């Protein structure tokens, strides 16, 4: 039985508030206006991306990407957008999700050949070749394809190279978040990602370096791809019977966040065969377009997206405590030894308390 007592004293509340203010200032600094050289580079990338979008002849598109101070990039309305109006539709062929690595696909065949050559158990296969890991492998394979330029190249080029989520912070920077669960979770996630990368390198990547190029499948790139996944991938129900599936959605993922009571965010239109968004407010031509990312707490925004919202109405204090599914002392001991070997806990319960 677990007994949990929680009290947010004034001192701890102040520490948490100071940590959030520091995190906000860091995120603002990292997303600040670009240097002259960087601005020119971003302008070229935006131009190439816009030409790529136009070449796809979207059924509906009232968005265009712009450099926006304080955000690096964002989207503005090309024309007036009415409240409730369908204003963007990204078709299936531009989406990147599990369908790209489904059974029978080229990547799946390569992975199955590798795991069979090593007699990897089904349990380990499920862990190493999780849906997320396979999507990330496909993402990096497309980005670093030496034989031909990827269809998504303009999309890859516009991605931020420097991410601001805490898994990219130094230990000194994480210390500034003392009093917040974010620093602990960031450390755990760093260990988890490193351990997963080491396993994938030994069990998968090094067995087919023609596919998994050394210069592409580095620890740095693996962290970067995970950071993009956590901050950009949308769980989209594409009405295929598989429920929500993690999907990279070009252009739509360039829309910046605002708090809203609208919880729909992105839908899938079966008739258009596209990911679509409907406006939850009117937007005039030339004005930045915002959408809710799902009414999250600042803990979630900072940990996964690398920013915090000022005066967030959904903010709360997250606390976590270990949880075990072990039914007896022997099972618990085995699980504890496994966690010590990996360097991180695989399971934890969290609780969000509104303040």
81-135 pLDDT per residue, tens: 999 999 999 999 999 999 999 999 999 999 999 999 988 889 999 999 999 999 9
Q: What is the mean pLDDT of residues 162-168?
A: 92
Query: What does the pLDDT read at residue 322?
Result: 60
User: Between these two residues, 7 and 346, which has the higher pLDDT value?
Assistant: 346
Query: What does the pLDDT read at residue 76?
Result: 97
Non-local (6+) Cβ contacts of 275 within 8 A are 89, 90, 95, 234, 236, 247, 249, 252, 266, 267, 268, 269
pLDDT category at 342 given cuts 50, 70, 90 is very low
Q: What is the mean pLDDT of residues 3-16?
A: 38
What tens digit of pLDDT does each residue of 244-298 get? 899 999 999 999 887 766 655 789 999 999 999 999 899 999 999 998 777 777 7
Query: What does the pLDDT read at residue 301?
Result: 80
Q: Residue 313 pLDDT > 90, yes or no?
A: no
Query: What does the pLDDT read at residue 261?
Result: 60
Query: What does the pLDDT read at residue 320?
Result: 61
Helix (H) or strand (E) holding 234: strand 234-237
Chain center to CA of 163: 11
Query: What does the pLDDT read at residue 145?
Result: 84
- Tell me how crowded residue 316 is: count the other CB atoms within 10 A of its CB: 16
First to last CA, the chain: 26
What DSSP state is assigned to residue 4? -
What tens digit of pLDDT does each residue of 190-249 get? 999 999 999 999 999 999 999 999 999 999 999 999 999 999 999 899 877 678 899 999
Distance CA(225)–CA(135), nearest Å, equals 10
Distance CA(171)–CA(306), nearest Å, equals 16
Look up residue 87 and give its two tokens. Answer: 């204003």
Share of the chain above pLDDT 90, in %: 54
Name the burial class of residue 192, with classes exposed (0-12), middle (13-18) and buried (19+) by CB atoms within 10 angstroms of its CB: middle
Look up residue 257 and give its two tokens. Answer: 């966040």
Query: What does the pLDDT read at residue 227?
Result: 95
CA angle, corner 135, sides to 221 and 42, nearest 5? 50
Q: What is the mean pLDDT of residues 9-24?
A: 46
- Domains in the chain, ordered, with CATH? 11-318 (3.90.1410.10)
Query: What does the pLDDT read at residue 188?
Result: 93
Look up residue 310 and give its two tokens. Answer: 């000022």
Q: Residue 311 pLDDT > 60, yes or no?
A: yes
Which residue matches tokens 């072990």?
A: 326
pLDDT category at 350 given cuts 50, 70, 90 is low
Picking from 283, 353, 343, 270, the residue whose alpha carbon sits closest to that of residue 315 is: 353
The pTM (predicted TM-score) of the whole model is 0.79
- Tell me how crowded residue 202 is: count the other CB atoms within 10 A of its CB: 11
What does each C-alpha distance from 148 to 138, 143, 144, 145 come to in angstroms? Answer: 15, 10, 9, 6
Distance CA(78)–CA(64), nearest Å, equals 6
Query: What does the pLDDT read at residue 8?
Result: 35
Q: What is the mean pLDDT of residues 310-337?
A: 60
Burial letters 6-27, b for 16+ CB under 10 A, else e: eeeeeeeeeebeebbeebbebb
Share of the chain above pLDDT 70, in %: 76
Q: What is the mean pLDDT of residues 341-346?
A: 43
Strand-pair partners of 250: none
């Amino acid at each position: 039985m677990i007994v949990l007592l929680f009290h947010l004293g004034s001192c701890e509340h102040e520490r948490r508030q100071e940590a959030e203010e520091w995190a906000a200032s860091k995120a603002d600094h990292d997303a600040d206006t670009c240097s002259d050289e960087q601005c020119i580079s971003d302008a070229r990338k935006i131009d190439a991306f816009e030409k790529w979008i136009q070449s796809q002849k979207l059924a509906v598109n009232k968005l265009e990407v712009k450099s926006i101070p304080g955000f690096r990039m964002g989207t503005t309305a090309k024309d007036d957008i009415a409240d409730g109006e369908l204003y963007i539709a990204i078709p299936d062929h531009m989406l990147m999700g599990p369908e790209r690595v489904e059974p029978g696909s080229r990547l799946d065949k390569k992975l199955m050949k590798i795991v069979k050559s090593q007699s990897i158990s089904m349990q380990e296969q499920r862990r190493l070749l999780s849906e997320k890991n396979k999507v990330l492998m496909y993402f990096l394979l497309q980005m670093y394809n030496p034989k031909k330029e990827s269809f998504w190249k303009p999309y890859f080029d516009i991605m931020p190279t420097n991410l601001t989520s805490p898994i990219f912070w130094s230990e000194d920077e994480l210390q500034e978040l003392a009093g917040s669960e974010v620093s602990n979770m960031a450390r755990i996630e760093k260990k988890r990602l490193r351990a997963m990368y080491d396993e994938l390198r030994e069990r998968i990547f090094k067995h087919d370096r023609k596919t998994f190029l050394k210069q592409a499948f580095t620890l740095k790139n693996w962290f970067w791809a995970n950071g993009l996944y956590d901050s950009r991938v949308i769980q989209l129900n594409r009405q295929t019977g598989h429920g929500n599936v993690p999907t990279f959605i070009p252009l739509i993922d360039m829309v910046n966040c605002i708090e809203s009571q609208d919880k729909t965010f992105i839908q899938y239109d079966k008739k258009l065969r596209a990911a679509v968004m409907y406006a939850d407010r009117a937007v005039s031509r030339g004005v930045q377009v915002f959408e809710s990312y799902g009414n999250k707490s600042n803990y979630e925004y900072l940990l996964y997206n690398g920013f915090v919202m000022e005066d967030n109405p959904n903010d709360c204090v997250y606390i976590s405590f270990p949880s075990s599914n072990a039914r007896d002392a022997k099972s618990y001991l085995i699980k504890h030894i496994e966690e010590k070997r990996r360097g991180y806990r695989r399971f934890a319960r969290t609780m969000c308390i509104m303040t």
